Amino acid sequence: MATSCSIFDKERNTHKVVERLEALEKKEDLHKPSFATQMILMQSHYTNMRLALQRKNYPLLRYHTSKLQELFVLTNLLHPTFPTVKDPIWQYYITHLDTPLESLKEDADNKSLSSASENFSKVTNACNKCHQQANVAFIAIK
């Protein structure tokens, strides 16, 4: 029986090539932020939006709102789908998040606190609804 390092074992040799390709693929994946990493970044913008709202810092609210939107664009490019999420990420974003986020930017421009609070709640619900659908309801955004 050929040893694992035998180059004469045709089958094992093929296996080594496959192994090497898999290793290279994984290495490439290391450079690609995971979906969860994107989520952690989202959490950061989200928290800053909440703080900006509490402090009535409207330029800051607008800033983090548009950064969150940009992050969704990027997340969608990196991960157009995610195994546990039923809809394509972009579709979920358009259906549940784009309108409240666009409105939040307008609210920030108009310094409209009550409307901003309402739209912010819609964002919170949209985050959590996806978590529920993806069986990670324990990740409850507040």
Site residues for ligand HEC per CB under 6 A: 35-36, 39-40, 42-43, 46, 68, 82, 84-85, 89, 92, 123, 126-127, 130-131, 134, 136, 139, 141
Q: At closest approach, how far in Å is the CB of 16 from ligand HEC?
A: 31
Specify the residue for token string 């690609």. 32
Which one, 10 or 86, has the nearer CB to ligand HEC?
86
Helix axes 58-78, 35-54, angle to 10 degrees: 170
Task: Between 23 and 94, name the residue whose CB sits nearer to ligand HEC.
Answer: 94
Phi, psi values for residue 35, rounded to 5°? -60, -40
Query: What is the DSSP code (8-state) at residue 85?
Result: -
Q: How far is the CB of 74 from ligand HEC (least distance, A)?
A: 13
Q: Which residues are CB-neighbours of 135 under 8 A, at least 6 positions away? A: 84
Nearer to ligand HEC, 105 or 131 (CB): 131
Alpha-carbon distance of 12 to 30, in angstroms, equals 27
Q: How far is the CB of 5 from ligand HEC (least distance, A)?
A: 37
